[in-house]
Amino acid sequence: MKIIIVGCGKFGVRAAEDLTRKNHDVTIVDTDRESFHALSEEFTGRTICGMGYDKDVLIEAGVATADVLISCTNSDAINAVTVIVAKNVFHVPTVVARMYDPIRARMFESMGVYTVSITRLGVENVMDFLEDNRSIRVIRKMANDDVELIRIRVNAALDGTELSSLIVDGKMQPVSIERGGHSMMPEAGMRCEYNDVLYLTVSRSYMAQARAQLQL
C-alpha cells in the first residue's frame, strides 16, 4: 500500500518503520526537518517537510494515489483537519487520526475516521486495522503500470449500484464479483450488494476519479 504519515514523533517513527518493514510505500511529513533524524536506517521511504493539512504538501507526498493517510501529530486539531482534507478533498480510501480527546475520537469515528487514542495504545492497533480494512487493494500492475487490477469491498454507499454504471470506456472496467463465496462474471442488470468483493481494471491516470466514483 501507499501510505502517508503526518507527524514524525515517536508514534509516527514507529509506524513508518513497521510499515516499511512490511514493504509498504511510506512517506512521512513533519514541520520540523530535525524530527526525521529519529528514523532509523531501515526506513527507506520519503520525508517531506511541511504542514500535513496543506494541500500542496499532500500533493507532493502523493496523496492522489495514496491508499492510507495516518495523522499522528501531538495536536488533535491538526490531526482532525488533516484527515478531513485527505478524506473529503483527495478521497483517500482509509484515514486514521490520533486523538487524545476520547469524545472527539468518537465523533470522528462516526464520520468514518478510524482513531487511535490513549485507550488504543497505538501502532499495533493501526497495523491490525490496515490489514483488516483495506477498502482498495492493487492486485496486479499491468505492463508499464498504466493499468492496475484492483480489489474493493462494496460499502454501504455503493450497495445497489449497477455494475454497468462503473464502466468508463478506456478508464475503468468491472472484471468479476465475489458474493457468498462464489465468483461471477458481470452480467447485464447486475447490481453491487453490500460486502461484495469487486475486481476492476483501472487506468492509473483515472485512479483518483475511480475512488470518488466507487465512493471509497
Where do the domains of the chain lie, and which CATH numbers do they carry?
2-132 (3.40.50.720), 136-213 (3.30.70.1450)
Tell me, what's the pLDDT at 164? 93
Share of the chain above pLDDT 90, in %: 42
Tell me, what's the pLDDT at 131? 58
Contact 49, 30 (CB under 8 A): yes
Q: What is the pLDDT of residues 128-146, one digit of tens each?
A: 666 555 566 777 777 677 8
Q: Is the pLDDT of residue 182 over 90?
A: no
Tell me, what's the pLDDT at 29? 98
| Per-residue confidence band for 122, with pLDDT thresholds at 50, 70 and 90 | low
The mean predicted confidence, pLDDT, of the chain is 84
Average pLDDT over residues 112-116: 65
Q: Cα–Cα distance between 150 and 126 in angstroms, integer?
A: 22
Tell me, what's the pLDDT at 40? 92
Q: Which residue has the higher pLDDT, 117 or 64?
A: 64
DSSP 74: S
Tell me, what's the pLDDT at 119? 42
Tell me, what's the pLDDT at 101? 75
Q: Cα–Cα distance between 202 and 199 in angstroms, integer?
A: 10
Cα–Cα–Cα angle for 73, 64, 32, rounded to 5 degrees: 30
Helices (H), 49-140: 55-61, 76-88, 102-109, 123-132
Tell me, what's the pLDDT at 130? 64
CA torsion, points 174, 176, 179, 183, in degrees to nearest 10? 180
Contact 65, 39 (CB under 8 A): no
| Per-residue confidence band for 120, with pLDDT thresholds at 50, 70 and 90 | very low
DSSP, collapsed to helix, strand or coil, labels residue 148 as: strand
Q: What is the pLDDT of residues 6-64, one digit of tens each?
A: 999 988 998 899 889 888 899 999 999 999 999 998 899 999 999 999 999 999 999 98
Q: What is the pLDDT of residues 151-180, one digit of tens each?
A: 888 877 888 999 999 999 999 999 999 887
Average pLDDT over residues 68-84: 91
Q: Cα–Cα distance between 137 and 2 in angstroms, integer?
A: 10
Looking only at the bridges linking them, the beta strands covering 46-49 and 68-71 are unpaired
Residue that has been written with the C-alpha cell 503526518 in this structure: 6
Could you tell me how far CA 81 lies from the centroid of its own chain?
16
Q: Which residue has the higher pLDDT, 135 or 73?
A: 73
DSSP, collapsed to helix, strand or coil, labels residue 62 as: coil
